[in-house]
Amino acid sequence: MPGQIRGVIVTLQEIADRLGCELAGGGDIEITGVAGMEQAAPTELTFLANPKYAPKVKNTKAAAILVSEALPSQRPVSVVSRNPYHDFARALSFFYQPPKLAPGISPQAAIAKSASIAEGASIAAFAVVGENVVIGRNAVLHPHVVIYEGAQIGDDFLAHSHAVVREFCRIGNRVTLQNGVVIGGDGFGFAKTSEGRHFKIVQSGVTVIEDDVEIQSLTSIDRATAGETRVKRGAKIDSLVQIGHACVVGEDNIICSQTGLAGSSILEKNVLLAGQVGVSGHLTIHENAVVYAQSGIGGDVAAGAVISGSPAFESREWLRAITAFPKLPEILKSMRQLEKRVRELEKRGLDETASNPE
């Protein structure tokens, strides 16, 4: 596996013990890595999280497999887990760790004298930390990260190259910003003058990112015109997502790539937005709602709803509608033929009545 820690060999029993799993034999088998079922080598561990992929188990070369129930076969050896996918993710760290920056602050980093950086920081060359910035313990700033004046950042912050945190924004603990993320860029706000020109509205608010949030590459979380834009605890936001000014992204939300939230969109907790969803703004998507890919949201979404389409509506109805959609030309043709036939029958009936008066 690329990036694998060289020479790491862990017995299957040790893996089971560290994960808190039950092992159906084979504890002395030596494991050198983890991989998907189709890619796994004879000395690797794999997983089965979705029962629909169970037929593939017979073809895997893996030595062992994380499963929710023990398999009848002896190979691959079953490692019984309450959550196979989660334990697979945990097992990855036994064999792979990303490269780490050297501890300390590079002399080529630009750190304002008024900035406060707690112990344990690793700040690379060409990173920039502005005036009156406060950064907590164990921060990692890769090259070309820029932290503007007055930003406040908690412990265990990780920012990859070209991530930017704008002025006075606030970030909690254990937040990760992937490459090119912009936190607190100006919201898209303009007022039209009497001459018909666009006057820029000062974006005086901030963006607040709570604890345990991860934001993927090239995503923008705009600052509010006034007040704040907020991403709540545990939310995970994919690459190429746009969060407009004064939005609220709820706890443990998942927002997938190329999704856009117009200003003042409110997402409650555990909302899932699949890829390329568009949210028109000034609305609320209530907790536990699921929105399928490429849906367009123009109004509030009820708690627990599963919706699709543009404009979006209940997903099962949408599936029936989309199944009928390719048949619409044929249905229209049939309707026109039926209408013609009805007119002919009506005309014949009138003609017969006229020729046979009582």
Average pLDDT over residues 117-131: 98
For residues 337 and 342, give the distance between their C-alpha atoms in angstroms, rounded to a whole number. 9
Q: What is the pLDDT of residue 5?
A: 54
Task: Assign residue 264 a region (left: φ > 0; alpha: ψ between -120 and 50; beta: otherwise).
Answer: left
Average pLDDT over residues 120-139: 98
Please provide the average confidence, as pLDDT, over all residues in the chain: 94
List 144, 160, 245, 286, catalytic entry: 245
pLDDT at 3 over 60: no
Average pLDDT over residues 26-45: 94
92: which 2 tokens? 């990855």
Query: Among residues 136, 120, 203, which one has the least CA distance to residue 168?
Result: 203
Amino acid at 99: P
pLDDT at 275 over 70: yes
Would you call 184 helix, strand, or coil by DSSP? strand
For residues 251 and 328, give the distance between their C-alpha atoms in angstroms, rounded to a whole number. 42
Q: What is the pLDDT of residue 350?
A: 72
Amino acid at 164: V
* Cβ-proximal residues to 92 (8 Å cutoff; 6+ apart), any chain: 34
> What is the percentage of the chain residues whose pLDDT exceeds 70?
96
pTM over 0.75, yes/no: yes
162: annotated active-site residue: no
CB-based burial of residue 273 (10 Å sphere; 0-12 exposed, 13-18 middle, 19+ buried)? Answer: buried
Average pLDDT over residues 266-287: 97
For residues 59 and 57, give the distance between their C-alpha atoms in angstroms, rounded to a whole number. 5
Q: What is the pLDDT of residue 1?
A: 45
* Cβ-proximal residues to 227 (8 Å cutoff; 6+ apart), any chain: 205, 246
Q: What is the pLDDT of residue 2?
A: 46
The stretches of 26-161 forming alpha helices (DSSP H) are: 84-95
Average pLDDT over residues 127-139: 98
147 strand-pairing partners: 129, 165
Query: Among residues 163, 177, 155, 103, which one has the least CA distance to residue 128?
Result: 163
Q: What is the pLDDT of residue 7?
A: 65
